[in-house]
A and B are shown apart, each in its own frame.
Chain A
Amino acid sequence: MLDKKLSTGTGITFRKIEPYLYLAPATILIVLIFLYPIVDIIRTSLLQNNPDGIKTFGFTNYRLVFEDPVFWEALSNNGKLLLSVPILTVLSLLIAILLFEHVRGWLVYRGIIFMPYILAIPVVGVTFVYLLGLNGIVNTLLRGAGLEFLAQDWLGSVKWVLPSLSIVIIYREMGFGVVLFLARLMSLEKEMLEAAAIDGANFWQKHIYVTLPQLSGVIEFLIIVELITMLSWVFAYVFTMTGGGPGFASTVLEFYIWKHAFAFRSPGIASALAVVLLMVTTVLIVLQLRLRSRSLEEGL
């Protein structure tokens, strides 16, 4: 009856708008949580400080960002962290393949490897601060084994802080990659691998020529996700382990955004930095979506 009443005046029936009403709460949440902050950050990034304290609109904040030497140092540090993505990918793949081969105890190993991924990053960070100190457990073991020449100030040295952070990030993120690859491996057609074995392919040949091509979609996905992680999801590691130091040797873009937003009282600069970071990660997300769409078309 209500359908008839609605259609008399407006041509819109309740039946037509009903799905949108069900979607409305989730849509409102998405707009509030995602779209509104993005719009607000872009707006704030265009509000520039003036000597008289009155804010005006303009692109000065972006100019100041690109003129800030610390921005380039932070960007460079993020770039160096990107180098850990291929290492992470290869390690995850190797371990997943080993687990797929059902080595003895593989179920236990799978759990152990995935466990760091479910730990909160600050927990991992604080733990590794104690492990990697100059007189921490790692160096103590090295010295005890007569390898004192290898003992370094892993987090207190400009030379070693980023590689050390990379290792911690790889340690924690690897579980995600392993589980991702393992899930895909378990869905592969066993007959292809058996046929390769029958044809005389050894372990490496089997996996390079048969397994890897079928994992290409997942590899692409993991690489893009981890590239985004290295750009925009490493704040907690830096905050808990190094504070961006020594000096600016481990300062990353997220950390510098946080400093400007909350410590330096410059929301305009922080927003401009955030928009720059958003642009870079958007490029990667678009790339990932295109690769994914291509993989789906190819049935991978």
Chain B
Amino acid sequence: MKFSLRVLTVVMILSIVLVACGAQPAQTTNGSNEKVDLTFWYWAESDAPGADAWMTESVEAYKEINPNVTINIVPQSTDTLISAFQSAVTAKSGPDIASQWATGPVLGFVWQDAVVPISDYVPADEIKNWLNTNENTYEGKIWGAPLYLIGIEIMYNKDMFTQAGVTPPASGRWTWEEFLAACEKLKAAGLTPFVIGDKDGYAGAWWFAHLGMQSLDSTDDLRQAIIGNKDFTDPHYTGWYSELDDMVKKGYFNENVMSLDLSQGAQAFSQGKGAMAWGTDGMIKQALNDLGADKVGVMRTPKLGTGKMADTGNATQSITFFITKWSPHPQEAADFLAYLHTPDRLNSWYQHTGVIAADARFDRSLVTDPVLKQMMEWETTGPQVWLENFLPGQVDSDGDLPAGQMIFSQSGTPADAAALWQRAAETWRNQHPDELTNWQNWQQ
């Protein structure tokens, strides 16, 4: 008896271990009327407050139309947006639909064969209504769906301008000299001319996307430095850091710039702690709510550079939603993404977020606030490029972001910042010869 009990105990323990090792995830069924579960790793709230509530509403509405389809929304964090999905790519397992910032980040995963082109699943007459699809077009296919357009412009506090005797630009855009003169006046009036947060490095990246773009002739111009045909220490690419450094030295930014992250910097503007700040549509809408609709104005980035892109807009779809290669339900995933572009969903999106939808069918009459109307006009007129999307992730992380932090923390010179860019690009080229080949072959 004692012996049998010992044998039974050993067999039971081994059985438990074997079962645990062999456990399989629950299988979902497929078929037009059979249950379909889709997992959607979703990011948008940081860009457009209200986006999460809108998505919850959209999922519930879609369920009513398609009761057999269940969408599981998994909100993503900004800090781990790329890394979390990279883990999924490594495991070849994860969501059916994922979110990544447009162009560079999306293509990085396309090149890892983790994405299927959405243009294979959504009809062309539907896609033709989507805006800014050029941001994710590669080899003739569109690899992800846009949802909204955001531009990033300067929001200003009208009362502070009046207090300092500063007149905003009638054309909506200052020259660089006019901008500096305004900063000097604001500082003399005891105000913080420009409030920003660069603890996370993204404020410096926004300055790059605005000022760095103005000296370039095309995105391919930037690509030449990335792939090593040109040098980032050339003032053509990084000369604008001298202007940023000059602004820091003159005290035109808040003192605690390195204690605030990007969103906290925008919040500081809404709290009346600075006369100007960068703002996305969502941030500007928040400022209008907090400070008053008649207290906030917007203007375009002051003109510094003389390259062909000096007047290019910076609107981007920001985030792209794409279908993963391992999803067993790519058509159902595409159908849901197309549903998000129905008129009801587009209008509801704007009601929730105040950010315009990236769709030609978006009812522009919904935008009534004059400031947001102005943003919409800038974002939908002329060519639009968000330059940061045209950087490899490592060059962005190890060049762009720390270079800006170096200037804001005054721990290096503009030449040091430029050298950091060059170093990051060289390291990336050495460490990623396969990615370098893709970038060399990518015709922009």
Contact = CB atoms under 8 A, between A and B. Distances in A.
Interface in A115-164: 133-136, 153, 155-158
A14 B2 CA distance: 14
B87 A262 contact: yes
Contacts of B432: 49, 264-266
B259 A135 contact: yes
A185 interface: no
Given A2-B3, A25-B14, A156-B199, A246 B397 contact: no
Interface string A18-32: 100110110010000
Contacts of A135: 256, 259
Contacts of A157: 258, 409, 411
A136 B398 CA distance: 28
Which residue of A18, A24, A25, A136 has the most chain B CB atoms within 10 A of its CB atom? Answer: A25
Given A246-B409, A248-B402, A265-B393, A49 B434 contact: yes
Interface in B365-412: 393-394, 397-398, 401-402, 405-406, 408-409, 411-412
Interface stretch (A64-72, A175-183, A207-215, A229-237): A64-72
B1 to A, nearest CB: 13
Given A18-B6, A134-B256, A69 B406 contact: no
Interface residues of B, number: 52
Interface in A31-64: 49-53, 64
Given A259-B397, A263-B86, A69 B423 contact: yes
Contact of A158 (B411, B433, B435, B436): B411
Contacts, number: 133
Interface of B is mostly: helix
B256 A49 contact: no
**Interface residue range, chain A:** 35 or more
Interface of A is mostly: loop
A64 B406 contact: no
Nearest to B402: A247
B259 A155 contact: yes
A-B residue pairs, 8 tightest by C-beta: A156-B258, A262-B83, A134-B256, A133-B259, A158-B411, A247-B402, A246-B405, A134-B259
9 contacts: A22-B10, A49-B434, A69-B427, A134-B258, A157-B409, A245-B402, A247-B411, A261-B83, A262-B86
Given A262-B84, A264-B393, 19 more contacts: A21-B10, A21-B14, A50-B434, A53-B437, A64-B430, A133-B256, A134-B256, A134-B258, A153-B259, A156-B256, A156-B257, A156-B259, A157-B409, A158-B409, A242-B199, A246-B406, A263-B83, A263-B86, A263-B397
